[in-house]
A = this chain, B = another copy of it.
Amino acid sequence: MTVTLADVAARAQVSPATVSRVLNGNYPVAASTRERVLRAVDELDYVLNGPASALAAATSDLVGILVNDIADPFFGIMASAIQAEIGGVGGGRAGGERLAVVCNTGGSPERELTYLTLLQRQRAAAVVLTGGAVEDAPHAAAVAAKLRKLAEAGTRVVLCGRPPAPDTGAVALTFDNRGGARRLTEHLLGLGHRRLGYIAGPEERTTTRHRLEGHRAALAAAQVEEDPRWTVHGPYDRQSGYEATLELLRRDPSLTAVVAANDSVALGACAALRESGLRIPEDVSVAGFDDLPFSVDAVPALTTVRLPLAEAGARAGRIAMGREEPPPGAIAVIRGELMVRGSSGVPRV
């Protein structure tokens, strides 16, 4: 029924071993033989059996990419960049045709673990985990154990935009969320804002905490006292920003600025402000984080912190493929760049 290596071998009048070597190109084969084999492959329309080859060679050409939400451009952009580097398909590099497995964890710790197991089961060549981690001790330990096991089995593990996981052998490219958030809030403070609302992400995530800490560090440094009512938590999406902003306005109508955990949230905040009859930035300034593509098109354009998502992803991909040296200490911190645009201005007096 289906064509096997042996069929090709028979047709090319060589042994299966030779066909295998031609296909893998890691053993000397005479040019004439190679050509004969290639012709047979073509004529029979032979397609290698991946599982069989993975089993025999004890390696596979699968690379896993874990993301929180593939529908969110934040992850989409990173995934795309990672994939471009690992896919021999796009990368151009001959021989290494790798298949990227993008897994949607939905931010759920269990799913993260499940996917890691599935990847381990497939003997993935590498795994890249993106996005912040959940701050739950048992879960963090479980993930760390899993990563360690993967590393032991020869799977390269890279964390992209995620805090380092000590003693797991994983390489980490971490975003400086704290620093970026701090500079952003400093910018707002510099403009004269003193009453700033903050819409944070979900409570238990590292990214949420780091950005919030940066924000607070800036406030503290400027000796601005923070009112606990000024912080609201919610998911990293537009709707959350919308609702949180209405809530903030309810709690303290005198706020002159709203800092959002990310750009999507900021967009929702803008919508809420506008509907409340407030002008941006004349009445209230708004700031986001990430600088996703649509942020520059917001009206007014969003002041935010640009994270080099594509670059980071590309680098993570190359490291995962062993095509780039891991950073010293296996940890690299990637800074964000403050993008000052129209949504932030001097507060009304």
Contacts and interface: CB of A to CB of B under 8 A. Distances in A.
Nearest to A122: B50
Interface in A271-303: 271, 274, 293-294, 296-299
A88 to B, nearest CB: 9
Interface stretch (A34-42, A100-108, A206-214): A100-108
Number of copies of this protein chain within its complex: 2
Interface stretch (A24-32, A109-117, A225-233): A109-117
Interface in A112-143: 114-115, 117-123
Contacts of A144: none
Given A97-B118, A102-B101, A79 B71 contact: yes
A44 to B, nearest CB: 12
Given A47-B121, A60-B51, A238-B293, A99 B101 contact: yes
A51 B297 contact: no
Contact of A294 (B111, B267, B274): B267
A87 B106 CA distance: 12
Main SS of the interface on chain A?
helix
A26 B274 CA distance: 59
Nearest to A297: B267
A137 B296 CA distance: 39
A77 interface: yes
B60 A71 contact: no
Interface string A33-62: 000000000000101111110110000101
B114 A103 contact: no
A311 interface: no
B51 A80 contact: no
Interface in A253-274: 264, 267-268, 270-271, 274
A104 B115 contact: no
B115 A70 contact: no
A50 B123 contact: yes
Among A70, A75, A100, A271, the one with the most B-chain Cβ atoms within 10 Å of its Cβ is A70
A324 interface: no
Nearest to A145: B45
A204 interface: no
A203 interface: no
A231 B302 CA distance: 31
Contacts of A69: 80
Nearest to A310: B71
Nearest to A54: B51
A283 to B, nearest CB: 15
Contacts of A122: 50-51, 99
A153 interface: yes
A2 interface: yes
Interchain residue pairs A-B with the least CB separation, the first 7: A51-B54, A102-B102, A299-B299, A71-B80, A50-B122, A71-B76, A51-B51
15 contacts: A49-B123, A70-B79, A71-B73, A72-B76, A76-B76, A87-B104, A90-B111, A97-B118, A99-B101, A100-B102, A238-B293, A238-B294, A267-B294, A294-B294, A298-B299
Given A71-B80, A73-B73, 10 more contacts: A50-B123, A51-B54, A52-B55, A70-B102, A72-B73, A75-B76, A89-B111, A99-B101, A99-B122, A100-B102
